[in-house]
Amino acid sequence: MSNILVFMKLISNQCRCALAHHKKSLFVICLQVFMVNTSMAGPPLVIDDPGILDPGTWEVIVAISGDDRPSGRVIHLPSMDISLGVSRNSQISFFLPHLLITPEEGEHKNGLDCASVAYKWRFASTPAWEWAIAANYTAPVSYKFIVPGGPGDIRVLGLPLLVSHTAGDWTWNGQAGWNVASNGTRFWDYGLAISHPLSDSLQWMAEISGDANASFAQNNLNYRLGLDLEINPALHLLTSVGSGISSDDEPDNHLNFSAFIGLQWFP
């Protein structure tokens, strides 16, 4: 669920004028979810895929990930992503990050932030194509970084459409999501990813992903390169690095560098 990434950024745009006199507060609101491999996404990438776990199968991903920007760094240290196959065509997921925020100016902070729950339903599947909807809901689980009732105290509902196409050893994944926040803000998230095996145990992947306000007047585009190493059938090592391509945001919030490393376990 990449809406966490976009959600707080658009909130920050709304409250920028009110907080311009206090750069530290703006940084916290702007970057606390400016992050990384966001909830309910398809680690180690940002966008999700329409794949569904077998019924009764668990997936647990424990990861460290972060973004570096001129205004500072935000790190998930760690995050936990838990999914369970419910039926042949549906699964549920829960994501909870612990944040470490290190602004260029101001106090370093750490603690729990927003949590997300998601329900993914694959409504069409052929040998070459899969289609799914992954409804998700994000809300604060603590007020370590935001003020109750303040501009950051907002919930968001995301409704991304996911598609996957396989041709030989190549797999393409696409996502287009419409998101609605409790303060009335509406925004898009989108992306396209490609993957290909390098060996029996190693897979390479690349992604372009972005976000935009409802009218696409403000748009941001990033890229990410990733690897999936199968240590054994129950344990995978996931890694990725990325950076910004273009951004309509303020220069202090442009993405310099992003990184992800995590363990994927199928107990």
Q: What is the pLDDT of residues 182-212, one digit of tens each?
A: 888 888 999 999 999 999 999 999 999 998 8
- Residue 85 pLDDT: 97
Helices of type H across the chain: 3-19, 23-31
- Nearest in space to 79 (alpha carbons), one of 189, 4, 24, 178: 4
- Residue 15 pLDDT: 38
| Helical (H) or strand (E) element with 229 | strand 219-232
Q: pLDDT tier at 28 (50, 70, 90 boundaries)?
A: very low
| Helical (H) or strand (E) element with 62 | strand 58-69
Tell me the C-alpha distance between 102 and 40, whole Å: 24
Query: Is 80 exceeded by the pLDDT of residue 117?
Result: yes
- Residue 114 pLDDT: 85
Rounded mean pLDDT of the chain?
A: 84
CATH of span 3-265: 2.40.160.40
Cα distances (angstroms) measured from residue 89 to each of 39, 56, 62, 130, 205: 20, 12, 24, 10, 24
- Residue 74 pLDDT: 84
- Residue 41 pLDDT: 55
Query: Is 90 exceeded by the pLDDT of residue 16?
Result: no
The 10s digit of each residue's pLDDT in 209-235 is 998 889 998 889 999 999 999 999 999
Query: Is 90 exceeded by the pLDDT of residue 60?
Result: yes
80-94, 145-159, 186-200: least confidently modelled range: 145-159
Integer distance in angstroms from the first to the last C-alpha of the chain? 23
- Residue 148 pLDDT: 83
Tell me the C-alpha distance between 231 and 22, whole Å: 47
pTM summary value? 0.86
Query: Is 80 exceeded by the pLDDT of residue 42?
Result: no
Domain boundaries, the chain: 3-265
- Residue 251 pLDDT: 84
Tell me the C-alpha distance between 42 and 134, whole Å: 12
Query: Is 80 exceeded by the pLDDT of residue 19?
Result: no
Cα distances (angstroms) measured from residue 93 to each of 73, 115, 166, 205, 265: 27, 11, 24, 23, 14
